[in-house]
Each structure stands twice: as structure tokens, then as C-alpha cells.
Structure 1
Amino acid sequence: MSTPQQSIHSGFGATTTAAEVLDGIDLTGKHVLVTGGYSGIGLETTKALAAAGAEVLVPARRPKTAAEALDGIAGVSTDELDLADLASVAAFADRALAAGRPFDAVIDSAGVMACPETRVGPGWELQFATNHLGHFALVNRLAPLIGEGARVVAVSSGAHRRSAIRWDDPQFEDGYDRWEAYGQSKTANVLFAVHLDRLAQERGVRAFALHPGGILTPLQRHVPHEEQVRMGWIHEDGSPVADTRFKSTEQGAATQTWAAFSPQLEGKGGVYLQDCDVAEVGEGGVAEYAVDPGQAERLWSLSAALTGVDGFGR
């Protein structure tokens, strides 16, 4: 069953926090994987889930840093994972499979944004490799642990409107633009959720993509100070511009937390969310190309060929 891209009038909005969407929801016994769950909105997501009773596994490229950030939060554990390294993805997945504990939700929250041109693996562009291909390989390797009732949540961005998939040059071998590359990777996140939902429905798994909103977090580390000032994000002294464009991290974590466990999304999937609701197609919502089933299937095939993994497609 496909879900239309139209509001369900959830009653939540842009100022809702992750704790508020979980109010009254008991996650005791739930097991959740949150990539990037030790920084920015990922950390707030981890805190909210743990406070509701969930046990949260936070894999990190810097596990010691993650352990320090998560110290004192009950029910949270860490492991090592570098999404830009498929060998690391495979090793992490093998450990999880050996442990054998199913996941009730997988939240793909880690990412990089607007970084200098960087090549990883067989020459892949870093943002496409980390934000999309690494998560694609991870979720597909963990397929045996993602079953009935589970949800997969891909954290995308409104920046997906900067670029559709560049089918003729997805790795930016013919000229690199860091913002266009970021936009393509975020479009890939949406298309991933669209096709995963189509493939996984028969086993009771649903998938969602989302725009968390604009939040000033360490994600901006590659955007120079002067550029952030020019774009109206911060003042010269580094303080955030006080307007309604930016959410707090607690508000920024709300939509992905809502996507993972809200009963309002029961029986739904394959859609792009924002402000704790299903977004409309068009300006201010989701681009039509990002939720196109044909584009989603094509990207899935490309990603499976590049990573050599297709746990849900088989």
C-alpha cells in the first residue's frame, strides 16, 4: 500500500520537540539503532528514545568521542562504524548479526554536508558515499534483524531540492560542487526510503525520509564562518541569527523520532516528512523527482551494484 504525500494533520509542528512526540509512548524493550546518535539532532534523538525506555545502539566513527557524549544516559551503547568505509560497515553489521538482537527502528541520522571534494573507496564522492551508500549497505546488511513492525528512517534535508540524481555523473568526476553534491545525497536518502518501503512492506517493515528543519549543529563544520554570515545563519560574533528559520536541536530531532515510533504513521510508509507531518509535493515540500518510484528503483539498482549488497531486494 502506497501512502500519498499529503498532510495527515498530526497536531504537531515545527516547534514540537522529540520528547513531546514520545509523550505517553513507552519504548521499554525496544531496540533502536541511531547513526550519528552522539552529536547534534542525533544526540537529542538518542536522549529522547532512552528517556522513553528504549535501548539505543549508537555506532560511531569515533567511538570514544561517542561514549563521552553519551556518558550517563542509561540504556545506550556504542560501537565502531565508518559509513564511508564499506569494510567497516560490513564488520559492524557482522557484529550486530552475531549478537542477533532485532531492531525495532533504524534511524540513519549521520551525515556530512558541503565538504571539500574528497574521494573514498573506489573514488566515490564522500557525501554520496557517506550519506547514501554507507547507509544503503548498512540497512541491507542488517536486513535479517529488521522485521515485522520495524521502521527505517532516512534523515534527508530540504537541500534535496538542490539536485536530482546526476545519472550521467553521480560521483562528480566532471567538476565538483559541494552544495549540489550534498543535495544529490539528500535526494538519494528520499529515494532510498521510497523503494525500501516498496520492497519491505511484505515483511512488515516501513520506511520514511524526512527534513528535520534548519538546525545549527556540528553538521555545518565544513561551511566557513564568513559563508554562514553571508547566508544569514549567524552573526559576525558567531551567535545564531534570531529568526524562525532555525530550530533547536530538541525540535530538530522531533520529526525523525516521530517517524520511528508515532502510532499516527501506522500502516503508512515510503513518504517524505517534515515538521512531524507528511509533506506535500512542490515548493516548500518535497521535489517530485525525489519521490518518483522509477527514480527510486533505478537508484536502488545502482546502489546495489556499487556496494555489492541487496538484502531487501533478493
Structure 2
Amino acid sequence: MEQTPQTPIYSGFGARTTAEDIVRGTDLSGKTAIITGGYSGLGLEAARVLAEAGAKVIVPARSPDKAQAALASVPGAELEELDLADPASIDQFAGRFVESGRPLHILINSAGIMAIPEQRDERGYELQFATNHLGHFQLTARLWPALKRAGGARVVSVSSGGHAFSGIHFEDPLYRQRPYSKWEAYGQSKTANALFAAELDQRGKAYGVRAFSVHPGSIVTGLSRHLSDEEMEAMGALDEQGQRVFSEMTEERKTIPEGAATLVWCAISPQLDGKGGVYCLNADIAHLVHEDSSASQGTAGVRPWATDGQAAARLWSLSEQLTGLSFL
């Protein structure tokens, strides 16, 4: 099957484009979207603009009571319970949705954790890989009947320029033998997000389901809660009053509305009709950068190991093995 080239299409958008810019003039009435992490940060902004454009938005949250107040800004939002680190919780949420008979036009896998101290889920799996990748792999698998039912759906996998920190360590992805590194583990999970989108697109296009991965940019959100003030200061994200904000904005550093733009572009833009499996940033397809570029430059494009077809197929097999699920 023909693959979409990992090269920019010069969409006309850019680093300062907002999610509202993307949806302007678009009517999403009759469309249904599920957004993990849709109660805070980028996910909440994507949920808000999609709902205001007419989409029915479902937001699953680990603690629905805590998410309730945030979702007041999302017209008609449905709040559900979901813990991506708990396979039973994933099955229960997806089962309820599939049994409702509704089609699923948009799935944005936005929830995640970043650079946490070493933790493991009940299966003994390293928690960043388990939550950021395996949880979304299982969720997408369980929602597959609803995605097919849409007759044309998109799955958006929120990756990161942090994928430059690490490819997939297939010999020990769960840190059972090697020393744990919080940033390497995060990078591995973000590479997994990109590879999952690439393989899902290859397998899903025959059913009208296209998939994309996204680097939203560097944004100060709750995702940084496990980082020290010293780490934030080193990133230029701590002001003189000790507040976690960027001291100055750059093409890479974004506000939340700007960061959500590429998520929404991949979810709805007609510019991507007939395309898929690519890594996107700044509301465009990213260019491929050389694997020898330093990790600090990782946000400028996508590394080869995050677009490699053989690695994507291998990760899919590993994910089936680790979750006990097989689909597509």
C-alpha cells in the first residue's frame, strides 16, 4: 500500500496557529469524538473547540469528579471513567461505548505521564510505557468496532519531540534488566506513540480509519508536575517569581491553544484526506531529521526510528503480546 510521505505539505498554518483557527468555519454536527486527557491542558482545549464546532465529545477521566468542573467549558460533554493503567477499566469504558451502537469519528489519545520516578502497574510493566502506549493500544483495539462503524475515522496519537531521547528498546522495553531512566523511558513511550500511529494507519486504511501522531510543541501544563523547579528553570520555564511559565515564546514554545492546534488539524482537516501514518507538528506534516541530531533539537522534526516501518510492525506484535489483545 502507498504510504504518505513524511514531508511537509505546506498547509498554510504554523507555530502560532491556534485550535480555534483550525476549526473556524467547520461544522462537526453529527460527529462523535473521544479524547483521553480531555479534562486538562491540550486535551481540554481540543475538546472545547471540537464541541463548539458541533461535535459530541466524550471525555474519559480517572477521577471524573475532579474533571467535572473543567468540562464546564465543553458544550454537551459526556464524562466517563477510565484509567489507562488498568486494563479492566479500559475494557469497561470501551465496552459501554461500543454497546451504545454509536460510531466513533475521532479518537484523540492525548492523556499521558512524563518523566516520573520509576513506577509499575499491576502487571509489573514500567508505567510510562504502560500508560502512554499500551493503554492507548488497548483502548483503540476495544473501540475498533465503533471506529469502523464511522465509515471514515481518524485516530490522533499525541507523541512528543521527546521521542528523540530514545527509540524502542525491544530487548528490554519494560526496564526489567537495565537501569531506569525517566527521560529515556518517556522518550521510548513517545516513539511508541508515533510508531503505533504509523502501523495503525497501514492496517486501518482499508476500513476508512486513518491515524496520525503529533508533536504539540513545548507547553507548560500539568504534565510537568513530576519535574523539579531546577529542571523547569533549565528549560526556561520558571520565572523570577517561581511560577512555571516560559520567560519568552519561540516557535517551539507554545500556549495551550497553539499546542492543541496540531491535534485538531490531524483530527478534522480536509488537507489530510487520503493521508495518514505520519508525524505532524505546527499543523503540518513534519520533515524527517537525521538520527545523529541531538535530542535537544528533537522538536524540529521526527527521527527515523519513530517512522520505521519494521519497528512499527515489531512494536505492534510486542503490544499484542503484552496486552493479550489481537486486532486488525
Considering the TM-score relative to the shorter chain, is it more than 0.5? yes
2:284 to 274, 277, 283: 277
Corresponding residue of 2:260: 253
Contact 2:32–2:106, Cα closer than 8 Å, also in 1: yes
Name the SS of the counterpart of 2:239 in structure 1: coil
Aligned to 1:121: 122
2:71 and 2:77 in contact (8 A); partners too: yes
State the secondary structure of the residue aligned to 1:176. coil
Match for residue 197 of structure 2? 193
Q: Deviations over 1:81-122 (max 9, x none)?
A: 000111111111111111121110100000000011001021
What is the match of residue 248 of structure 2?
242
| SS state at 2:69 partner | helix
- Aligned residue type for 2:162: A
Instruction: Tell which deviates more after alignment, 266-275 or 302-311.
Output: 302-311
Map 1:95-244 → 2, pairs under 5 A: 95-147=96-148, 148-173=151-176, 174-239=178-243, 240=245, 241-244=247-250
Deviations 1:159-212 (A, max 9, x none): 001000011110112211000000000000000000000000111110000100
- Give the superposition deviation at 1:7: 0.7
Q: Structure 1 residue 8 and structure 2 residue 9: aligned?
A: yes
Aligned-partner Cα distance in 2 for 1:150–1:257: 13
- Secondary structure at the aligned position of 2:206 is classed as helix
How many residues matched?
312
TM-fit CA distance, 1:238: 2.8
CA contact (8 A) 1:67 1:78 kept: yes
Partner amino acid for 1:301?
Answer: S
Match of 2:52 in 1: 51
Distance in 2, matches of 1:269 and 1:57, equals 24
Residue identity opposite 1:278 in structure 2: I
SS at match of 1:306: helix
Per the TM alignment, residue 149 of structure 1 is displaced from its structure 2 partner at its CA by 1.0
Q: Which runs of no fewer than 5 residues in structure 2 stay unpaired?
A: 294-299
1:215 & 1:131 partners in 2: Cα distance? Answer: 18
1:297 to 309, 313, 323: 313
The TM-score normalised by the length of structure 2 is 0.93
Contact 1:54–1:75 (Cα < 8 Å) also in 2: no
Letter paired with 1:207:
A
Letter matched to residue 70 of structure 2: A
Paired with 1:65 and 1:40, the residues of 2 have a C-alpha distance of: 14
What secondary structure sits across from 1:257 in the alignment?
Answer: helix
RMSD of aligned Cα (Å): 1.0
CA contact (8 A) 2:107 2:156 kept: yes
Post-superposition shift, 1:236?
4.3
Residues of 2 paired with 1:72 and 1:105: CA distance? 19
State the identity as a percent. Answer: 53
Structure 1 residue 62 corresponds to structure 2 residue 69: no
**Long gaps (5+) in structure 1:** none
Q: CA deviation at 1:215?
A: 0.4
The Cα of 1:225 is off from its aligned counterpart by 1.3
